[in-house]
Chains A and B, each alone.
Chain A
Amino acid sequence: MGPELTAAQKSGAKASILVIVLVLVLFVLVLVAGHPIMYFGTGLASVAYTIVVYTPVLALCALAYRRLR
């Protein structure tokens, strides 16, 4: 582990987690409000793909959040 983070660095890191979550939400909204099929041909496959693709990056955010608490 590195040195202890300052309060400002912690709030910067929390804002970074928020940013990643907002990006993911934005593109899910585009998917839902626009053309929901993507490459796969069915909406169900698109939902499954989205869940699979989001899992690692959401795990990264969750781990970072846990370390910041």
Chain B
Amino acid sequence: MLPWYIPVGAELGTIVIAFVVAFAGVKAYGKERAAYFLAGSVLWTSIIENLGVIDKSYTYYTYAGLFGPNYSGYLFWVGQVPLWIELGWVVVALSLFVLIHEVLLPGRSPFLQAAVAGLFAVNIDLLIDPVAVANNLWMWINPSVYMLGVPAYNFAGWFCLIFFYDLLFNYTILQNKPVAVLGRIEGLFLRDRYTSNAKTARFAFRLIVTILMVAVLLTIVAAVLLAVAKTGGVA
């Protein structure tokens, strides 16, 4: 087993960086909108990550027992996933959101902004995941097509999560816009759809719809890659 300061440093380091990104979000968008981004993204990634653990795609108990038999490997957990994993995702998502929407591509197509954010998130994860795997911060345990020791669908997952969350936050909280494809369904549940009063309900509703959509999409991608792995014998 690697030294104790590897998991402790990764966990505490990410938590400290999360405070810096919260500061960045508050400065860029104000307290209320930053709170929406942080709460929504922690909820979103907690659900997706816990589904991944339940599905036996990966495990975070690699350092369990490090400081005694009852120590589960990390200090803070949300279900089966360490909090710092969710925060790491928030850190990447919010910092890229601020830079791309406010500095690099302001006023451009929301889809272009979301796609660029997604691509750079994959770029950052191309180092995070192989380093984490080499140091047992988490462990992939399912058969699939692997790249750099990591299942290929993980990178598709990073793109999808950032891309769709970017659009979700942009349309719902920043621009307060209707989304045609959701309009009729939202009308059934939300009486006052496009006023600030309904913002929280609308955000929660769209968050759930998007999580379900992304979960289905990633399940399909993972299934296809599993079939490819079994056919090609690369699992």
Contacts and interface: CB of A to CB of B under 8 A. Distances in A.
Given A16-B95, A56-B123, A33 B9 contact: yes
Contact of A16 (B2, B9, B24, B130): B24
A44 interface: no
Given A19-B21, A23-B124, A30-B9, A60 B99 contact: yes
Interface residues of A, number: 42
Given A2-B102, A8-B28, 17 more contacts: A9-B28, A9-B102, A13-B102, A15-B27, A16-B24, A16-B94, A19-B95, A23-B92, A26-B13, A34-B2, A34-B3, A35-B136, A38-B134, A38-B149, A49-B130, A57-B120, A64-B99
A35 B106 contact: no
Interface of A: 1-3, 5, 8-9, 11-13, 15-20, 22-24, 26-27, 29-31, 33-39, 49-50, 53-54, 56-57, 60-61, 63-64, 67-68
By size class, the interface of chain B is: 35 or more
Contact of B3 (A27, A33, A54): A33
B97 to A, nearest CB: 8
A24 B28 contact: no
Contacts of B130: 38-39, 49
